[in-house]
């Protein structure tokens, strides 16, 4: 199945978000990725933004904020 967008938490046990993003890029370089974190990750998210289509959403977020970000990404 083809994926249109992936929601990826940057802080996960085992494989972290950056490593997961790198592995994902090896499989699907152009898939859109929405990075999510409960920490202020703006610097790290900005660095990762150069790795294909990536956006960032900080937790906690509202349903409306998620919908708005997905709308922006999906255009």
In this prediction the pTM is 0.80
Residue 55 token pair? 């956006």
Residue 24 token pair? 């994902």
Helix (H, G, I), strand (E, B) or coil at 34: strand
Higher-pLDDT residue of 60, 49: 60
pLDDT (tens digit, 9 = 90+) per residue, 25-50? 888 888 899 988 887 656 666 666 56
Could you list the beta-strand ranges (E) of 1-75. 5-9, 32-37, 54-58
| pLDDT score, position 15 | 78
Please say if the pLDDT value at position 3 is more than 90.
no
Full strand arrangement of the beta sheet holding 5-9: 5-9, 32-37, 54-58
């Amino acid at each position: 199945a083809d994926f249109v967008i992936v929601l990826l938490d940057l802080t996960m046990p085992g494989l972290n978000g950056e490593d997961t993003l790198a592995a994902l890029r090896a499989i699907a370089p152009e898939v859109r990725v929405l990075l999510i974190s409960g920490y202020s990750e703006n610097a790290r998210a900005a660095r990762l933004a150069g790795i294909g289509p990536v956006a960032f959403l900080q937790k906690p977020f509202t349903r409306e904020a998620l919908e708005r970000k997905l709308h922006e990404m999906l255009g």
